[in-house]
A and B are shown apart, each in its own frame.
Chain A
Amino acid sequence: MAAHLKKRVYEEFSHVVQIPQEEAPAKKLRLSKPSKSAALHIDLCKATNSTDALQYLLQFARKPVEVDSVEGVVRILLEHYYKETDNSVRLKIASLLGLLSKTQGFRPDCIVDDAINTLNNEKSHQVLAQLLDTLLVIGTQLPESPAVRQRLIEMACKHLADTYFGVRNKCLKLLGFLGTMDTSLTKDSEGQGTSSGGARDVQTIISDYFGDQEPRVRTAALKAMLQLHERGIKIHEIIYDQACRLLSDDYEQVRSAAVQIVWVLSQLYPESIVPIPSSNEEIRLVDDVFGKISHMVSDGSWMVRVQAAKTLGSMLQVSPHFLEQTLDKKLMSDLRRKRTAHERAKELFTSGEFSSGRKWADDAPKEKLDTNTVNLIASGACGAFVHGLEDEMFEVRIAAVEALSQLARSSASFAEKCLDFLVDMFNDEIEEVRLQSIHVLREISTHITLREDQLDTVLAVLEDSSRDIREALHELICYTNVSTKECIQLALLELLKNLNKYPTDRNSVWKCLKFLGSRHPTLVLPLVPELLSTHPYFDTPEPDMDDPAYIAVLVLVFNAAKSCPTMPALFSDHTFRHYAYLRDSLSHLVPPLRLPGNGLDLVDSRCGSGSVESAQLFLQQSLNRVSTIQNLEAPGAQDLLNFTIRDLQRLGELQTELAGAADFCATYLRCQLLLVKALQEKLWNMAVPLCLKQNVTATAAAQQILEETYKLEFLYSGLESRQVATIHHVRLQAKALQLILTARSRQGLDPLISSCEKFLLDIESFQRLFLAELPHLEDSFVDKLLELLPRLSSCKPVELVKILQSTLRQSGLLQLPLPEQIHRATATIIEPTGESDNPLKFTTGLVVALDIDATLEHVQNPQNTVKVQVLYPDGQSHVIHPKPGDFRKPGPDRHRLITQVYLSHSAWTEPSQIEVRLLLGYSSSSTSLSSSSPASKLGWSDSMDGLPPPEVAVEGTIPFSKPVKVLIMPKPARR
């Protein structure tokens, strides 16, 4: 063997001077196979005692084994297994067998027999359990072989009677993973006198072990049943009673698994009827299960409680009657019925009198209760959520809140009922729970109208010092319906108070009022005179236009006025003036109004609902027009491009919905235009030595196109692979241009050769990436290049450049297909505002923290890509990666970055401005198509570990927010 190999190696060396890279590992692989298993064999033989052998095995397990040598290794291991007397070594071998059969590409059917054989001869229980585990691995590796499966199942059934719990556990697991519906098994293999014999299916066998004496086996049996369910096998209803009995097991893991299985049954057979014990009534199974699981919400173990609370949320088929019981908790005091605080609040509200504070006997119990009717341990669902929401562990409370939200979303009446409880949760001691309940309330807010007292409680949270809570609450108020004008007034008052206390909430509060106004125009109407403090006879002083509180009021009023045409009549003169000002400065908050005698009608009609389609049409037409350009050198082509770009830009400004698409197209066309210009320059006709100077513009153009293509690719979301291919195509053209320019600059041959190689690699990767898109790129630059690729790769650089030049000049404009949804990533820095004249003073050499608050829209994975850049006046710049925890996600496609950047500098004599802006980082290796792939995630998790992110290809950043200037003043340290 070795001699033969040697010969081959010599042969190869004599043949070709350059060894192809791929050959080397292939050879290694061939050599390694015998050596690996042989080494193991020798090691194992060398081992004098079991500890040594174990050591060798452990070392061996650390290294991966190639696919083709697996079988050999397995044989050696098995051989050693038969000889080995020590249990621990056999155990390790058994586990290694399982590991090895997991090797990708290895089919373990060849070792099934051996594994089963060893199983039959094994005496040690631990090893047996491990071997069964191995069999499970083998079984899962061979999903399509029923014969093997059948044999494995038989083995499992045989060992189910083992006295060691571990073996029974593994057998049940095996049955769960491999058992099928049709496998009917005979269990009379042992002569234990059970005359029942006969065919029994897997489910019956597993359910027999629901009553095992060992809790771990009971758990395993339940889990196996769940596994069967997960694999799509329908579980029989017969096990329901058994499963229910396990709900009161002594062990928490059994109860937890039982909750799951009972839930599964309720989903499978919701409508079947079960009797209530100790009465002759019958109820639906799903209701029965709901009652039982509700009971588990007051279990002794919090794990079970979490499980139960979570499960409740997904039982949507339950009857409303049962559902509402979960919120029921009859109060009594000294045997007399007492109303809950919720009921009292409601009563006060309905009686028209607002709560005046509590009196000593306010909650004095009313009617005397009949002792027989008071049910202390409420049967069934009673008060499950009341318990869950008051639980000691916040995990249970969160689970209960989530369950409430799920149930409330499907049932409006339940939503109404659970409102009080959710509102109560706003006062939880753990912020997470508070936040969660606010979110939940927002989700179900379509179903509900808040009463005044409830709103009062909700609004009290506005003073919370946590920004997250406040913003969540603003979001909630955006979506809530309130019932009376007092509510609106109350909300406005509280929001203004909030604004006063936390001025940074300005935008959020305004937005909130915008929705509040547009939702309740009729409720705002009677409040208008008061809000604007107008008086029928007297002129009131004009309020300060810069007062955020006044703006807030105006936002509320204007938005209400949008759908309430009578309102503007109540406005005073300065209100109209302020409207015009705000409409201009805060156009996203102030809607266009139909005001009498105002020229603003025009704007209104243009922004009508039909205009989106027409704008869309216009966009499409513009693109079509451009596509008529066949030859880029045609005389009118440049003008047409210029005009189209201008049109598109304007369109983007006018129609915010289409801004992304229009911008995208315009940028693309600009690239084309640049390319055309670069190619049209006369320099191409000149002799090389003469055109050194003109090169500059063309080089700049090529550079700019490259940059633009990166912007196109990474700044816009919603791109399809067609567009990405087109963008890459343009980039390729730009690179070709660069290459030609390099060639012309005559800087020597070596750089040219390397850049030629690079270019060829680029073409190849383009081909690889966009194989599916190639048919669409017919007749394009790339298409032609690919045709010529065999020739290109073998020809000399100079020749290549010539070919490129001609193809480039011949290639036409590639039409850009308009994607469905395209959005440009934008970022706005809210804080710092850049308006402050007070410099941030700090001592030189120390750091100062600058709070940054920005909203990001349409940014995917902001945690990876968004960076903060700080530019100092001396040209120094720092890029700061915000922590992933600094990003919040208030809505779809929207992120919020709230972070602190640390600044430091040596002493300045006077305050000076630094610039802060946000950058979008990209790396060309990950196209925007695969930006959400695990690869990028990996990069992130790497950086979590403190490693630098892997350097790949071109890394760059695109500034995508307006820079904000901040005055800072580092002072020299005083001594």
Chain B
Amino acid sequence: MPEIKVTPLGAGQDVGRSCILVSIGGKNIMLDCGMHMGYNDDRRFPDFSYITQSGRLTEFLDCVIISHFHLDHCGALPFMSEMVGYDGPIYMTHPTKAICPILLEDFRKITVDKKGETNFFTSQMIKDCMKKVVPLNLHQTVQVDDELEIKAYYAGHVLGAAMVQIKVGSESVVYTGDYNMTPDRHLGAAWMDKCRPDVLISESTYATTIRDSKRCRERDFLKKVHESIERGGKVLIPVFALGRAQELCILLETFWERMNLKAPIYFSTGLTEKANHYYKLFITWTNQKIRKTFVQRNMFEFKHIKAFDRSYADNPGPMVVFATPGMLHAGQSLQIFKKWAGNEKNMVIMPGYCVQGTIGHKILNGQRKLEMEGRSTLEVKLQVEYMSFSAHADAKGIMQLIRMAEPRSVLLVHGEAVKMEFLKGKIEQEFSIDCHMPANGETATVLTNPSVPVDISLKLLKREMALGGPLPDPKKPRTMHGTLIMKDNSLKLVSSEQALKELGLNEHQLRFTCRVQLQDQKPEPETLSRVYTHLRSVLKGSSVQLLPDGTVMVESILIKVSSSPEDPDTKTLLLSWSYQDEDLGSFLSSLLKKGLPAALC
């Protein structure tokens, strides 16, 4: 039985460091190559030594596919390709290819320049790595080689995020990357056709959550901001540079437009500006509204949102500032926070999750006095709000995608083990399909039942067609007789005569014979005629003949009666049928073994 093997090097029962190896139909594919945010040591990157202890990866991998530009999905890419060594193709979508190097460079800067790590990849390595990238378009089927083909689907989540279908022959795997089934202000919902893959590898970040309507959250968010602005307060929104920030910008921008508000909105500069540029370019990857209106005005050309300058923080009057980083642990957002924390009119809105230990986490938990470095304390008087804007599919969304794609089995990654367990149970219960959740380094094997394409000779097909109705009924499988020839790595179904001819063989007849003992006092001819009448009454549909030479013919089956002189009462029925009539023949023999019905005696 052919099988598909899936081994997560990262993201198996875990979030972060997504890296999944798939071998399908003799091809090895690496899905994503991410880093782990939580570690600063070797555990940061996937363990590539799993693939090979020494040497380059090129000969072991047929291709690498990156689903989107988040660092936990692409952060280890230069390390793998340049430092471990991989020269094969790397596939990603156009926006990912554009934005990925910016993030990688930023990541490199922080690690090398700020933290002073050595033995890290360099800018040149990032460039070299990006040279190996082959861009993908949505719904475009790309032949990696003769047998392996991949196709990208829209995934929502962030700009350019894609789900990938990997296909070898009739076996296929779909890897979802991160995806979002509910549309948001700048991206649409993930979509997939009924491609019925053998394995669907799905993320499961929110395996046990069903989220409230997005609209409620948006409305709350806008109301909070609006109220604060009307009071004359300043609003700080700490964000990470890419992804949610754009969504919130669009949200605020349209709201400002709708409500005719005048208060300034600032966005702290940095890599965002570059990224915003790409958002403007890749309009086709955004949602319906932005796509439709960009002719009049590109939504990412913000009218109300301007670049932030450090000095603006002291300006009087209301304003909204988006500042990085998102957890208030360092940088600009923290500086602004310190300035504004003292005024109760001001507000800080945390749009995402905060790691323990960060200031964000502290203030969300209601801490009002913060100890800063240098023994000073900071009184927090401003309002603290929490608004979750997450772009992962929730449990319902995951189920919806499974329903859309109709896979033969599901494999969960990118989530916590306990939560996966729950979802796994649900999937098995609802769809009655297998569900796997391998841990890192553990291999899940899925048996497949690929259909094998066979050439059929037209003559044979037509002959078989003539026997049945003019149209094949797709609901009922039909058996047909033919000979399968395997020759030169190809399969062919031909009629037996042709097969014999091609192979230069003689035809052999195969006949089965069978003896049935029958207790009957009557003479032979009479027994025969009784068998005849019996068979006629039983086999209404087929022709039963009594031949003059003392045999009964049922279709092509011969029945003879003989009796031994020693025991005239015991008659022996001789049945003989050819191989083609096996069904009928065995039926007859079992029928006659039961004896003749008494009524005929």
A300 contacts B226, C-beta separation under 8 Å? no
A340 at the binding interface (Cβ < 8 Å): yes
B208 contacts A161, C-beta separation under 8 Å? no
B395 contacts A376, C-beta separation under 8 Å? yes
Distance of A340 Cα from B289 Cα, bound (Å): 27
B517 at the binding interface (Cβ < 8 Å): no
Query: Which residue from chain A places its CB closest to the CB of B475 in the assembled complex?
Result: A211
B278 at the binding interface (Cβ < 8 Å): no
A371 contacts B422, C-beta separation under 8 Å? yes
B422 contacts A300, C-beta separation under 8 Å? no
Q: Which of B259, B385, B404 contacts A357 (CB 8 A)?
A: B385
Min C-beta distance of B138 to chain A, whole Å: 15
A460 contacts B189, C-beta separation under 8 Å? no
B471 at the binding interface (Cβ < 8 Å): yes
B399 contacts A376, C-beta separation under 8 Å? yes
Min C-beta distance of A685 to chain B, whole Å: 74
B470 contacts A335, C-beta separation under 8 Å? no
Could you say which of A72-80, A462-470, A763-771 contacts chain B? A462-470
Q: Mark A370-405, 1 if CB is under 8 A from B, else 0.
A: 010010110000010010011111100000000000
Q: Mark A568-605, 1 if CB is under 8 A from B, else 0.
A: 00000000000000000000000000000000000000
Min C-beta distance of A647 to chain B, whole Å: 52
Besides A300-B193, A376-B210, A425-B215, 15 more A-B contacts (Cβ < 8 Å) are A192-B469, A298-B403, A300-B191, A332-B395, A340-B216, A341-B212, A341-B213, A341-B220, A371-B422, A376-B426, A376-B430, A389-B215, A393-B288, A457-B219, A464-B258
Min C-beta distance of A375 to chain B, whole Å: 8
Distance of A719 Cα from B474 Cα, bound (Å): 65
Q: Cβ of A535: which chain B residues have Cβ within 8 Å of it?
A: none
B313 at the binding interface (Cβ < 8 Å): no
B89 at the binding interface (Cβ < 8 Å): no
Q: Mark B420-436, 1 if CB is under 8 A from A, else 0.
A: 00110110001000000
B185 at the binding interface (Cβ < 8 Å): yes
Q: Cβ of A428: which chain B residues have Cβ within 8 Å of it?
A: 215
A250 at the binding interface (Cβ < 8 Å): yes
Whether A300 contacts B213 in the complex (CB less than 8 A), given A335-B422, A360-B366, A460-B223, comes out as no
Distance of A428 Cα from B216 Cα, bound (Å): 11
Q: Which of B257, B430, B471 has the most CB of A within 10 A?
A: B471
Q: Which of B219, B258, B386, B474 has the most CB of A within 10 A?
A: B258
Query: Which residue from chain A places its CB closest to the CB of B404 in the assembled complex?
Result: A300
A196 at the binding interface (Cβ < 8 Å): no
Taking CB atoms and an 8 Å cut-off, the chain B residues in 254-269 that contact chain A are 254, 257-260
Chain A residues with CB under 8 Å of chain B are 161, 163, 190, 192-194, 211, 213, 250, 298, 300, 329-335, 338, 340-342, 357-360, 363, 371, 374, 376-377, 383, 386, 389-394, 421, 424-425, 427-430, 457, 460, 463-466, 501
Min C-beta distance of B223 to chain A, whole Å: 7
A460 contacts B258, C-beta separation under 8 Å? no
Whether A340 contacts B213 in the complex (CB less than 8 A), given A161-B470, A393-B288, A457-B219, comes out as yes
B218 contacts A427, C-beta separation under 8 Å? yes
B404 contacts A358, C-beta separation under 8 Å? no
B403 contacts A331, C-beta separation under 8 Å? no
B564 at the binding interface (Cβ < 8 Å): no
Distance of A333 Cα from B422 Cα, bound (Å): 12
B217 at the binding interface (Cβ < 8 Å): yes
Contact-residue bracket for chain B: 35 or more
Q: Cβ of B475: which chain A residues have Cβ within 8 Å of it?
A: 211
Q: Which of A335, A340, A358, A390 contacts B214 (CB 8 A)?
A: A390
Distance of A192 Cα from B258 Cα, bound (Å): 69
B403 contacts A377, C-beta separation under 8 Å? yes
Q: Cβ of B194: which chain A residues have Cβ within 8 Å of it?
A: 250, 300
Min C-beta distance of A298 to chain B, whole Å: 6
Whether A213 contacts B472 in the complex (CB less than 8 A), given A331-B210, A425-B215, A465-B259, comes out as yes
Taking CB atoms and an 8 Å cut-off, the chain B residues in 384-418 that contact chain A are 384-387, 395-396, 399-400, 403-404
Q: Cβ of A392: which chain B residues have Cβ within 8 Å of it?
A: 183, 188-189, 287-288
Q: Cβ of A340: which chain B residues have Cβ within 8 Å of it?
A: 212-213, 216
Chain B residues with CB under 8 Å of chain A are 182-183, 185, 188-189, 191-194, 208-220, 222-224, 226, 254, 257-260, 287-289, 364-366, 383-387, 395-396, 399-400, 403-404, 419, 422-423, 425-426, 430, 469-475
B383 contacts A330, C-beta separation under 8 Å? no
Q: Is the interface of A mostly helix, strand, loop or mixed?
A: loop
Q: Cβ of B383: which chain A residues have Cβ within 8 Å of it?
A: 357
A358 contacts B386, C-beta separation under 8 Å? yes
Q: Cβ of A298: which chain B residues have Cβ within 8 Å of it?
A: 400, 403
Distance of A456 Cα from B406 Cα, bound (Å): 44
Q: Cβ of A383: which chain B residues have Cβ within 8 Å of it?
A: 396
Q: Cβ of A465: which chain B residues have Cβ within 8 Å of it?
A: 257-260
Query: Which residue from chain A places its CB closest to the CB of B474 in the assembled complex?
Result: A213
A427 contacts B215, C-beta separation under 8 Å? yes
Q: Cβ of A334: which chain B residues have Cβ within 8 Å of it?
A: 208-209, 419
Q: Cβ of B469: which chain A residues have Cβ within 8 Å of it?
A: 192-194
Min C-beta distance of B568 to chain A, whole Å: 45
Q: Cβ of A389: which chain B residues have Cβ within 8 Å of it?
A: 213, 215
Query: Which residue from chain B places its CB closest to the CB of A363 in the assembled complex?
Result: B212
Q: Cβ of B425: which chain A residues have Cβ within 8 Å of it?
A: 371
B212 contacts A331, C-beta separation under 8 Å? yes
Distance of A280 Cα from B279 Cα, bound (Å): 54
Q: Which of B211, B213, B218, B472 has the most CB of A within 10 A?
A: B213
Closest 9 CB pairs of A and B: A392-B183, A341-B216, A424-B215, A360-B364, A465-B260, A335-B208, A463-B259, A213-B474, A392-B189
Distance of A338 Cα from B208 Cα, bound (Å): 11
Q: Cβ of B400: which chain A residues have Cβ within 8 Å of it?
A: 298, 377
Distance of A338 Cα from B206 Cα, bound (Å): 14
B216 contacts A358, C-beta separation under 8 Å? no
Q: Cβ of A211: which chain B residues have Cβ within 8 Å of it?
A: 473-475
Min C-beta distance of A673 to chain B, whole Å: 56
In the complex, 17 of the A-B residue pairs with CB atoms within 8 angstroms, ordered by the A residue number, are A300-B193, A332-B210, A333-B209, A335-B208, A335-B422, A338-B212, A341-B216, A341-B220, A357-B385, A358-B387, A360-B365, A371-B422, A371-B425, A424-B215, A424-B216, A457-B223, A460-B226
Min C-beta distance of B359 to chain A, whole Å: 13
Distance of A220 Cα from B180 Cα, bound (Å): 35
Whether A163 contacts B215 in the complex (CB less than 8 A), given A250-B194, A360-B366, A392-B183, comes out as no
B219 contacts A427, C-beta separation under 8 Å? yes
Distance of A702 Cα from B230 Cα, bound (Å): 66
Distance of A211 Cα from B226 Cα, bound (Å): 57
B386 contacts A330, C-beta separation under 8 Å? no
Q: Cβ of A193: which chain B residues have Cβ within 8 Å of it?
A: 469
Min C-beta distance of A407 to chain B, whole Å: 19
